[in-house]
Amino acid sequence: MFLITVFFYKEPPREFAGETLGKKFRDIGVALSDLKFTTFLVLLGVFFWLPFWAFFNLCALYVDSNVDTARLYQNLQAVCGTWFANLFAQQDKAGVTRILGETISHTGYIIMLLQLGVSRIFERFRAMPSFMFGLVVAAVGLGIIGLARVGPPALVFLGIFLFAVGEMITSPRIQEYITWIAPKEKAGLYMGSNFLAVMIGGFTSGFLYTSLYGWFDQAGHPERVWYVLGAHVLVAVAVFGGFVKIAGEFREQTS
C-alpha cells in the first residue's frame, strides 16, 4: 500500500478552507446535538461494535484454551494437505502438532477473498435491512464457535466464516449509511463521529466480555460466552428494528 501510494497516487487539486481545530470540535458538537443521530451512535456502540470487538478479544484465547487444536490440525490437514495445515500450526512441548488460535481467529483472509462479491450482492438492497440481516448471520456464527468445544472442533472454521460474512455485510453498509445521511459538506465529520460508537464498543468489550469469559471458564463452560454474544447480536436486530420503527430511517441528504 505504501509503494502504490508513493508511485500512483496524485493529490487532487482542492481549495483549503482554513478552518481551525476549534471549529471542527464545534461542528462535532452540532452533529451530536442531533439526538436521533447520537442515540443511533450509542446503539451502534453497544449492540454492534461491542460484540464485534469481543470476538477479536476472545477468539484466539478460546481456540487455544478450549478447543481440541490437535484434532483441528488433523481436520485441516485432511482437507488441505500437510504443507497448508503447517502454516497455521506448531508442535507443543509434547511433540503434538496443534493449530495456533491466533492464525485462524480473525476474519481478514476471508474478507480479502469475498468482500467485493458480498458488497456487490448487498448493494442492491436497502442499508438497514441488509445491516440487520448481517447481524443475524454473525449471531449464528458466534453460536457455532461455541459449539466447537462441545461438538466437532472444525465447527470453529464455519463459525468464523459466518461471522466474517456477517461483518462483510454489516460494517460497510452501516458506515456507508452514516456517510450518506450527513449533509454532503459534512460527510467526513459524521464519519468521524462514527468512531465514538467504535470507542464505546472497544472500551466496554475489553472488560465486559473478557470478564464474562473468565467466569464461564472457571465454571467449566467457556463456550457459553459465545452463546451470550450470539444472543447479544440477535437482541441488536430487535433494537435496531425498534429504532427504525420509532424514530424512522435516516434520509439521504442531497446537499
pLDDT band at 254 (very low <50, low <70, confident <90, very high): low
Any domain includes 75:
no
Average per-residue pLDDT for the chain:
87
State which residues form the domain around 184.
Answer: 22-67+106-247
Are 31 and 220 a contacting pair, CB within 8 Å?
no
Owner of C-alpha cell 463521529: 193
Any domain includes 14:
no
Total residues found in the chain within this entry: 255
Any domain includes 162:
yes
How many domains does the chain contain in total? 1
Any domain includes 29:
yes
**Mean pLDDT lowest for which of 37-41, 80-84, 198-202?**
37-41
Q: Is the pLDDT of residue 255 over 60?
A: no
pLDDT at 221: 95
Three-state DSSP class for 25? helix
Any domain includes 86:
no
Helices (H) and strands (E) in the chain, counts: 12, 2
Any domain includes 193:
yes
Residue 55 CA, chain-centre distance (Å), reads 8
pLDDT at 196: 87
Any domain includes 2:
no
Owner of C-alpha cell 441528504: 253
pLDDT band at 7 (very low <50, low <70, confident <90, very high): very high
Any domain includes 165:
yes
Looking up residue 227, the CATH number of its domain turns out to be: 1.20.1250.20
Beta strands in the chain (DSSP E): 89-91, 97-99
pTM of the model: 0.85
For 138-177, write each residue's pLDDT tens digit: 999 999 999 999 999 999 999 999 999 999 999 888 877 7
**Mean pLDDT lowest for which of 5-14, 56-65, 87-96, 179-188?**
179-188
